[in-house]
Structure 1
Amino acid sequence: MGEADPTAFFKTDVDDLKTKNLDWKIRELQGPSTPRAIVDGREVIVLCSNNYLGLSNHSRLKKAAIAAVKKYGAGSGSVRAIAGTMDLHNNLEKKIAEFKHCESSLYFQTGFAANAGVLAQLAGEGDLIISDELNHGSIIDGVRLTKAERKVYTHKNTAELKKLLEEAHGKYRRILIITDGVFSMDGDIAPLPEISKLAKQFNAITYVDDAHGEGVLGEGGRGAVNHFGLEGKIDIEMGTFSKAFGVVGGYVAGNKYLREWALNKSRSWLLSGSAPPAVVAACIAAIELLQEKPQIVKKLWRNTRYYKKALKKLGFDIGVSETPITPLMLGESKTAQDFAAELLKEGVFTIPIFFPMVAQGKARIRTMPTAAHNKEILDEAISKFEKVGKRLGVI
């Protein structure tokens, strides 16, 4: 009694993950996130970051962050609801609303915090949440925090979604349909026009997590909702600054009441220290830069088309991707892990994705070209893919 180590399961669980090759092997960047970066002590081509527009090391964002530290300090000193809301935070939320062509927005420390905080309050007892089966883990966790009934429809299956809505009609106080805008593992886009039409027909709330659509899809990178011409027809858009915008932080955007409702309801906003001035200033700079130079998004797509075409020509299966997220579908977990390891030896940094992050037999290398890559770098990477692919018998 009392002598056994109550934390022994830490080691047991980790050992089990390692035995099954399901543990994350974290690589270390020794410098900025750039197309060629120092990873674990050597220079490699990076093709697995979410830095779609290459803004994380942009001089304009860095200057804005430094200037904010000099003027406002290193931190805000409080949560937003008490004494941690600076004019910078309010300015950022105005910029987000302007960029998204909507009435209001609320900024959170992360996209995960936005989903967890808002979804937990949107629905409760007597409500129904209907969610795409491949929605992001932050959506899943946000939904778990509610007392609402939950139903899941097969990925992008709007006929099944319609059936669920028909069955639910008149039985719930509130019905919420949640979907990613762009699905992070396969790079495909949600059928938002059909979802919006069904939501209107059945008086449901629509919530789109567009973390991988912001800065990528739509006019000047305004996202999947803009891409489909649905501005004003989706109730809540969630986005992030940690991907295409190159900084960190999440937000929700919608009508004029959403901001006040969310800041009064969301515990992840109310009870977390507010984002430091440097981060907020860099987020503002990222939006302004994209507004002034939308051609950055066009370069991202030029690189994406070139990259995908080359991989297909070599015989790689890139799945159903419609965006820069470009998976190389390899099937078995070991094949994906071996492929990534061999690529790293050749100087290309990618990440294997396998069960339980994706279904059994659907392991892949998930890659992303960015606007910061050039043809020379992409050609070098593609030649390494060919070399490793032939070595492992994948192509």
Structure 2
Amino acid sequence: MTAIDVFAKAREFERIEQLNAARQIGALPYFHVLDGPTLPVVEMEGQRRIMLGSNNYLGLTGDERVKQGARDALDRYGTGLTGSRLLNGTTELHVELERELAEWFGTEQALVFTTGAQANLGALGTILDTHDTVIADSGDHASILDGCLLSQAKLRPFRHNRLDLLEKRLQAAEQDGGGILVVVDGVYSMEGDLAPLPEIVALVKAHGARLMVDEAHGFGVLGARGAGACELFGVEADVDLRMATFSKSLASCGGVIAGSAEVIDYLRIAARQFLFTASAVPAAVGATLAAVRICRSEEGRELFAKVLANAAYLRRGLAELGFWVLEPEPRPDGPELITPIVPVVVGDDWKAVLLWKALYEAGVFVNVAIHPAVPPAGALLRTSVMATHDQAVLDEAIAIFAAAKRDFEAEHGPLSDGRE
């Protein structure tokens, strides 16, 4: 019998052919090299480019106070802690950060992980077990799905934001015999849309389940305090666990789980992704703490308003050019629900890649999302703004989009406008 080569999948993976074809024509939209900090305008591979592909929503990666926080931590604690939080990897900075994050969220406690992905893996993989059921939105972040699979709980996914299907999954889960946890993103990372949290909360309560919300893209942006989608919708008291990352608005790297003292203490001594991972480098923790303090000040509220105003401005400019830009969600009792993410739907994978190439060569960097990151035939250019983008730079980017669209359509035919 001939043994099966476990490396065969590396040669046979369905995306390899596309990867190589994109490389051959110079249209690979991934792994491009930055030559400096992620600011509204960057140096990338030797050229000036407007950055519309970063999660640096508040622009704090370039803030001198955040950089000083990193320097101070580096000077005090050195380059690394070389151990887990359980052993020698906890510093006063961690303690202060967890206290301030819990205050910001309005929860009893918070627990800081080295990365956001580990926070989701650690929480879900520890809280759930084989007797439980986890219900997840199909648009949830990959680390949520990985945490669900790691737990070996019964997974019942539902189609993105379909409340009727969520209700059916909850009804089915009641027959499974264990605990039930619903997990959703507050803001979905590709399309920038929000979970209908008030309706989800009502369903979760009706079926005696628990609710966890990933606030990675809403924390530091939405709500009067910037505490995320749960605050925006007024459901903070009804959400059992909230997760956030430091690699978006907080201009650093790491993750946090916030909730009741009993659950956080349980994770502190049982979550393997917390116990068996080296503590984050001190500079990252120091930068995060400095960013948190800016966000919780009056200046933070100004930054939250500015990034959402910039998103509305860019969306309006691209829509006027005829791009298929997903519209903000209406809200019956207030203004439209805007996030910093402005997706331009293209549809075809290759058209999205070629349009990306035209923009990149003209001086604008955006992200490309193709299947399976988005549904089949749902390829899009994911643009996102910072509070520190000024109108002149956004106008320049919109002009480059206009020229790229004109040249692209002259060669490849019309882009989808959403009506087909």
Q: TM-score range by the shorter chain?
A: over 0.9
CA contact (8 A) 1:35 1:47 kept: yes
**1:52 aligns to what?**
57
Moved more, 357-366 or 18-27: 18-27
Q: Provide closer, same or farther for how the CA distance between residues 359 and 271 of structure 1 changes in structure 2, counting only shifts above 3 A.
A: same
Per-residue deviation at 1:305? 1.4
SS at match of 2:151: coil
Asked whether 1:345 is paired with 2:361, we answer: yes
SS at structure 1 position matched to 2:181: strand
Q: For the Cα contact (< 8 Å) 1:188–1:320, is it kept in 2?
A: no
1:233 is matched by which residue type in structure 2? D
Tell me by how many angstroms 1:308 deviates: 1.1
Q: Any stretches of 5+ residues in structure 1 without a counterpart?
A: none
**Per-residue deviation, residues 211-259 of structure 1 (Å, max 9, x unmatched):** 1111111113110111111122100000000011111100100112222
1:183-221 alpha-carbon deviations (Å, 9 max, x no partner): 111110001111111111111010111111111111131
Alignment of 1:1-395 (within 5 A): 7=7, 10=10, 13=13, 15-19=16-20, 21=22, 25-292=30-297, 293=299, 294-321=301-328, 322-393=338-409, 394=415
Q: For the structure 1 residues 204 and 53, does the alpha-carbon distance in structure 2 shift closer, same or farther, using more than 3 Å as the test? A: same
In the alignment, residue 384 of structure 1 is paired with which amino acid?
I
- Greater shift, 67-76 or 167-176, is seen at 167-176
Distance 1:200 1:15, change over 3 A: closer
Q: TM-score, normalised by structure 2?
A: 0.90
- Tell me the distance in 2 between the aligned counterparts of 1:202 and 1:320: 32
SS in 1 for 2:183: strand
Question: Contact 2:346/2:379 (CA < 8 Å) preserved in 1?
Answer: yes
Give the letter for the 1:361 counterpart. Answer: A
**8 Å Cα contact 1:108/1:250 also seen in 2:** yes
Indicate conservation of the 8 Å contact 1:118/1:265, yes or no: no
In the alignment, which residue of structure 1 is the partner of 2:412? none
- The CA distance in 1 between the partners of 2:302 and 2:308, in whole Å, is 10
8 Å CA contact 1:130–1:175 kept in 2: the answer is yes
* C-alpha separation in 2, matches of 1:177 and 1:9: 33
CA distance in 1, matches of 2:119, 2:29: 25
How far did residue 85 of structure 1 move?
A: 0.9
Q: Is the Cα contact below 8 Å between 1:105 and 1:258 reproduced in 2?
A: no
Percentage of matched positions with identical amino acids: 36
Counterparts of 1:141 and 1:118, CA distance in 2: 11
Offset of residue 126 of structure 1: 1.7
Return closer, same or farther for 1:392/1:232 CA change in 2, 3 Å cut-off: same
Q: Is the 8 A contact 1:110 1:249 kept in 2?
A: yes
Deviates further, 181-190 or 21-30: 21-30
Please tell me whether the aligned partners of residues 133 and 155 of structure 1 are also in contact (alpha carbons under 8 angstroms): yes
- Cα deviation code 1:318-351 (max 9, x no counterpart): 1245422111111101110011100011111112
Moved over 6 A (4+): none
CA RMSD of aligned residues (A): 2.1
Shift of 1:11: 5.3
Deviation at 1:74, TM superposition (A): 1.4
Contact 2:29/2:353 (<8 A) preserved = no
Shift of 1:127: 1.0
Shift of 1:265: 1.6
